[in-house]
Amino acid sequence: MNKQESSDELNLSTLLFKFGRYWYLFVIIPIVLLAATWLKVQTTSPVYRFHSTLQLADRATPGSRQAQEVLTPSESRNELTSVEDEISVLTSASLVKQALDKLDFEVSYFDVTNSFVNKLGDLRVQEHYQDAGYTVKLDTIAPQVTEVPLYLELRPDGLYHIQGEADKAYLTDMRTGAVLETVDNFTLNEVVRPGQVLRTRYLTLTITPTDSIKGLPEVAKRYFVLNHPQALLGEYQGKLVVEPTERFARVLRLMSKGSVAGKETRFLNTLMETYVLNDLTDKNRKGSKTFEFIESQITKVADSLRRSEAALASFRASRGMVDVGAQSSSGIGKISELENQRAQLLTTRRTYESVLSALRTNSSEEAVSTWASAGVNDPVLDSQLSDLAQLTSQRAGLAVSANDDNPVLQALDSRIQSRRQSLQRSLTGLIRSSDATLADISTRLGTIKTAINQMPENQRQEARLRTQTTLNDQNYNFLMQKRTEAALMLATNVSDKKIVDHAQQSDSAPESPKGKQLYMFAVLAGLMLPAGFLLLRDRTAQTVQSADELKRVTNAPFLGLIADAGRKIRLARMEMPRSAVTESFRTVRVNLQYVAAGPDRRVIGFTSSTSGEGKTFCCTNLAAELALSGRRTILIETDMRKPTVAGYFGFDSRHAGLSSYLNGECTLAEAIQQPDIPNLTILAAGPIPENALELLEMPRMATLIAELRKSYDYVIVDAPPLGLVSEYYILNQYTDVTIFVVRHRYTQRNMLSQVQELAQRQTGNQQVYVLLNGVNFSSTYEYRYKGESAYYTA
């Protein structure tokens, strides 16, 4: 096995060990999440998905195709319906509102079941549609309080008790959705008979029972809610999805979802029916405009025909003429032909002017309608007007869901304006061309009329009257044919949109909540949350976690580790002789005898970064272990600011000690004390002085260390914390070995930099060692086996 594989295995084992210590989290949290998930599943109404399909045709249906082709320009007949535009129309707020206005969705009915879950509150609520047992009819003219639960109680006497309350309610105009008034602390408590109008300041409605009211089950509560029109519109528009069944397909799938099948299917069906009806209404409106235009033209032409026939008959009667001569037949025919051409050209010119006028007034729809009803055949204008109609239709579809600042809408406006200007230039040119052609026809007519004028006056006048009559008769017959075709179009006109599949439920299983998936997610989350928490805590921990970490952070040699003894233990050898902490002190004592062997290694100083790391505990117990091993040992407490050594041995803290000796208040023999441990001498700090730093700097301190070095095998110096005061830098000149105590999961990592600084200050044979204190073997993977060491001690 290579080093990488071994490291990975160790990391996995360490991870599993850390998780095992907190096994209860991996049990409690999944159970809590499963319980919460179960409550969520039990209290959430199942939501199902529903769908329907709608077909979009490319052209008019066969029943009205012929009439449409007669009255519709060629570019409009061949124009394809944009699928994206139709989707925008189907999902628009205006169409959804039209569909909702046809439905009775303004009131929602609910039951709070007699489930034990509802003992915690109204958690499990079931919505009804037409099976609630009663219906609420609103007076939409009167304002109503919306979005407030109104509880209904069926009293034994047949009356209905209605009550409701809310901290804030909104009085709404049900026709527009506008909020008329905000009602604070709204309350309602009324009794009404079935079918009787309940009229209050905030409500005007009638409650009528249905046939199913006798078979209603017992429930905890019944209530209904008056839906705000805008909120209802937003709800159904938000959950409506329309998309093609396939790419480039012209069949759309409409999808919605909800808890009540009846409401969702009725909404989709009504939406499709409204969409188809609007399309048919739009087609009929265009056909009606065309029919009205033809009717007005027929009236004018019929009047002109009657006048021309009457004038011809009167002329013949007054002059006694029966027939014109064959000599004038040729001239009359030419005049008739030219007059017919001029009349058609004048009609075309008037059409050009009408379309041009409509374009100049920014009425694109009127321009297209005028051109379509005129029946003029001009491929160039047909194409340009087709583009303008298509752009206008796209803008109308986009304007439903976009405002004027929309970049796409602005781009369409720019293209429409450009197309309109191009059409104006084309129409201006066509009018000039028509004027030139009319001038030419007038010249030719003048020439022929001059020739006819040379005929007898009676024949000339008769030919003129007959020409007018023939022209009016042709126009009248043409318009009559167009009126018949327009009437046929209106009679056979149908929408080219068709409902393929009515709304139905997509799947028997609810879309949400999905119980199995939620339970599985709860279990996974219950396992991942504590695992993530433990990993995050381990990664973000700022304290020393292991000896390996010490070795990575500092170059100081590692002396050993001390097991966690708890806060109440003082002398582990005496109180816990067969414990892991006692055995760990034995191990450190052996290690120390190797690194502190020889006469120049007798003075050992103990320090730490801050208070609470167990420095005094370690040096006291280690001094006891050295003494019990037969070494004459003296423990000097130089931490005179916060002395604690006397308490370890049950001495009086007021007894003379180091401070008294350095002040010259007593002799060394009077300052030292003998505990019950053989070979161990204690020089406690004594009374707390005001000048601890100055006392340690006195020559008397140096003389004391020199004398003790000669008299004892080991001199243990309990120094103040290095990170709090500076006394140890004075004491460092007397010590041969410095032991820096680090507490497991207590000492901050950034404090370890002091070890490096202390090591750099050492001179000669001085050496700094690191001692890890307070290690809980049972909670640390690296040292878990050491927890059994107490069973192998004598």
Instruction: Report which of 370, 407, 402, 400 is spatially closest to residue 385, judged by C-alpha positions.
Output: 370
d(CA 699, CA 127): 93
Cα 540 from chain centre = 30
Which residues does residue 170 pair with via DSSP β-bridges, in sequence order?
Answer: 146, 182
H/E element holding 220?
none
- Please state, rounded to an integer, the average pLDDT across all residues of the chain: 80
Structure confidence at residue 464 (pLDDT): 75
Write the DSSP assignment of 191-217 as a string of letters.
EE-TT-EEE-SS-EEEEEE-GGGGGPP
In degrees and rounded to multiples of 5, residue 250 shows phi and psi of -110, 25
Assess contact for 660 and 672: CB atoms under 8 A: no
d(CA 39, CA 771): 53
Fold of 555-792: Rossmann fold (3.40.50)
pLDDT cut 70: percent of the chain above it: 83
Predicted confidence (pLDDT) per residue in 19-75, tens digit: 676 788 888 999 998 888 888 888 888 889 999 999 887 544 444 444 444 444 444
H/E element holding 488?
helix 457-492
Predicted confidence (pLDDT) per residue in 542-598, tens digit: 777 777 777 777 878 888 888 887 777 888 888 888 888 888 888 888 888 877 766
Predicted confidence (pLDDT) per residue in 708-744, tens digit: 999 999 999 998 888 667 778 888 888 889 999 998 8
Contacts of 297 (CB under 8 A, 6+ apart): 479
* Residues shown for the chain: 794
Find where tokens 């003219």 sit: 141
Predicted confidence (pLDDT) per residue in 375-419, tens digit: 556 777 777 777 777 777 777 777 666 677 778 777 777 887 787
Assess contact for 654 and 627: CB atoms under 8 A: no
Q: Which two tokens stand for residue 383?
A: 């194409």
* 322: exposed, middle or buried (Cβ count in 10 Å: 0-12, 13-18, 19+): exposed
- Beta-carbon-side half-sphere exposure of residue 641 (alpha carbons within 13 Å): 14
Is pLDDT at 2 greater than 60 in this prediction? no
Find where tokens 């249905």 sit: 210
d(CA 294, CA 284): 15
d(CA 592, CA 671): 27
Q: Which two tokens stand for residue 140?
A: 């939409």
Coil, strand or helix at 172: strand
Is pLDDT at 108 greater than 90 in this prediction? yes
Distances (CA, A) of 535 to 6, 433, 528, 641: 21, 88, 10, 40
H/E element holding 316?
helix 261-319
The rounded radius of gyration (Å) of the Cα atoms in the chain is: 53
Assess contact for 619 and 719: CB atoms under 8 A: no
Please, which contacts does 26-31 make with residues 24 or more away whose CB atoms are closer than 8 Å? Answer: 26/526, 26/527, 26/530, 26/531, 29/526, 29/527, 29/529, 29/530, 30/522, 30/523, 30/526, 30/527, 31/526
Q: Which two tokens stand for residue 715?
A: 């001199």
Omega of the bond leading into 217 within 30 degrees of 0 (cis): no
Residues carrying CATH 3.40.50.300, the chain = 555-792
- Determine the Cα angle at 552 with ends 549 and 558, to 5°: 75
d(CA 562, CA 770): 11
Predicted confidence (pLDDT) per residue in 206-227, tens digit: 999 888 777 677 788 889 999 9
Instruction: Report which of 609, 618, 621, 610 is spatially closest to residue 553, judged by C-alpha positions.
Output: 609
Structure confidence at residue 228 (pLDDT): 93
Coil, strand or helix at 658: helix
Predicted confidence (pLDDT) per residue in 594-637, tens digit: 777 666 678 999 998 888 888 899 999 999 999 999 999 999 99
Assess contact for 627 and 680: CB atoms under 8 A: yes
Query: Side chain identity at 57, as an amino acid letter?
Result: A
Sign of CA dihedral 432, 436, 441, 446: positive
Q: Which two tokens stand for residue 745?
A: 């999961």
The neighbour count for residue 283, using CB atoms within 10 Å, is 19
Find where tokens 């808890």 sit: 259
Can you tell me the mean pLDDT for 307-336? 67
Structure confidence at residue 473 (pLDDT): 82
H/E element holding 114?
none
Find where tokens 């909702």 sit: 100
Residue 110 DSSP one-character state: E
Helix, strand, coil percentages (3-state) for the chain, rounded to 5, are 55, 20, 25
Is pLDDT at 791 greater than 70 in this prediction? no
pLDDT band at 133 (very low <50, low <70, confident <90, very high): confident
d(CA 700, CA 638): 13
pLDDT band at 132 (very low <50, low <70, confident <90, very high): confident
Q: Which has the minimum average pLDDT: 243-252, 491-500, 504-513?
A: 491-500
d(CA 642, CA 545): 28
H/E element holding 44?
none
Strand pairing report for 737-743 and 603-608: parallel
Find where tokens 């050491």 sit: 786
Query: Side chain identity at 19, as an amino acid letter?
Result: F
Distances (CA, A) of 727 to 558, 636, 668, 721, 748: 24, 14, 21, 8, 21
User: Against a cut of 0.75, is the pTM above it?
Assistant: no
Which bin fits 650, alpha (ψ -120 to 50), beta or left (φ > 0)? left
Q: Which two tokens stand for residue 563?
A: 């097991």
Q: Which two tokens stand for residue 241?
A: 């999805």
Walk across the sheet containing 767-775 and list its strands: 558-563, 767-775, 737-743, 603-608, 714-718, 633-637, 680-683
d(CA 553, CA 570): 30
Distances (CA, A) of 743 to 340, 545, 773: 116, 9, 5
H/E element holding 107?
strand 107-112
Predicted confidence (pLDDT) per residue in 421-449, tens digit: 787 788 788 888 888 888 888 888 787 77
d(CA 200, CA 349): 67
Assess contact for 651 and 658: CB atoms under 8 A: no
d(CA 298, CA 349): 19
Which residues does residue 634 pair with via DSSP β-bridges, in sequence order?
Answer: 681, 715
Contacts of 284 (CB under 8 A, 6+ apart): 490, 493
Q: Which two tokens stand for residue 371?
A: 């051109």
Can you tell me the mean pLDDT for 765-774? 85
